[in-house]
Structure formats: C-alpha cells, structure tokens
Amino acid sequence: MKTLLTTLLLLGPAIPAAAHEFTVGDLYVDHPMIEEAPPNAPVLGGYLSIANRGGSDDRLVAIESAAARKVELHRSSVTDGIARMQQITDGLAVPAGTTVELGDGNHAMFLDPDRRYVAGDEIGATLVFENAGRVDVVFEVEKRSAESAASSHGDHAR
C-alpha cells in the first residue's frame, strides 16, 4: 500500500488532469475542457468544475475568450424527448462548500471560434466570478467520446 501511494505520488505530476487546476481565492477550477467539433462547427461546448472551499457563496458570471466571438453559459436538457437549450443569464451559482459543474446539463458555449480546434489544442479563457474576480484558465481540447457522451458531460471530470 505504501509503495502504491509512493508510486502514485511520484506519478502525480505526470498525469495532466491532476495538474489541470486553476485557483482564485477559495475557488478551485478543475479540468476545463472542450470537446473537439467538426470543421466549420460554429460552436464548441466547454466543460469544467468549480469547487468553492471557502465560507461564502460566489457566482460565475461570465467567461471571456479571445478565441471566440463570445462565450455564453447554457443549460441544456432533454425533456419529453425534446432537446432544449437555454442561456443562463444570471450566472452560475457556486455556493460555499460545494462543487458545481459546467457539464451534466450545463455548458459554456464558445460561439464562432476563430479557427478549427482539434484534440490536443488549448484555448485560453478568463472566468469572471462575482466575488473572487477573474482567473485565467486553459481549456484543453479533447476528442469526443461516443461512450461517455451519452449520459452526461459531467463524466469528463469524474
């Protein structure tokens, strides 16, 4: 067991996902990722998770990126067999002591990306929080997995 732990600790920094975290104040932003999309795709879906380890609530109010005309927060759902998408205009609440996801029904929608992005590319963006302020993050572009995509996008960070 001890050997295993040591091995894991040694391997730790080599696992990209483990290192792919960004911090601002008490907020920990984990694994921002974008799913690779077809050429000419007018939109890209972005996902991440935010852990609020502090004592006060916060709110993700915007995402900015030079790589897209604009970035919107969306809630998408399938209800009664109908796929619906709604813009989240009042931001995404990140209550104290919780972890919330852009994923699992929510996503950041990058509209009109400036070029084609494929798996392995990185897209810089800034997350804007109501209280914690701004934090620069990097979305890693990953191949779309047909297997995991079915149920929920939240799976990417699980």
Closer residue to another protein (CB): 3 or 79: 79
Closer residue to Cu ion (CB): 56 or 148: 148
The residue from 13, 14, 16, 39 that contacts another protein (CB under 8 A) is 39
DSSP letters, the chain, are -HHHHHHHHHHGGGSHHHH-EEEETTEEEEEEEEE---TT-SEEEEEEEEEE-SSS-EEEEEEE-TTEEEEEEEEEEEETTEEEEEE--S-EEE-TT-EEEE-TTEEEEEEEESS---TT-EEEEEEEETTTEEEEEEEEEE---HHHHTT-GGGGG-
Q: How far is the CB of 78 from Cu ion (least distance, A)?
A: 9
Check: CB of residue 157 under 8 Å from CB of residue 99.
no
The residue from 60, 107, 125, 139 that contacts another protein (CB under 8 A) is 107
- Asked whether position 79 contacts another protein by CB under 8 A, the answer is yes
The residue from 8, 17, 96, 149 that contacts another protein (CB under 8 A) is 149
Residues that bind Cu ion (CB under 5 A): 83
Residues that bind another protein (CB under 8 A): 30, 35, 37-45, 49, 70, 72, 74, 76, 78-79, 81-85, 87, 89, 98-101, 103-105, 107, 109, 111, 144-147, 149-151, 153-154, 157-158
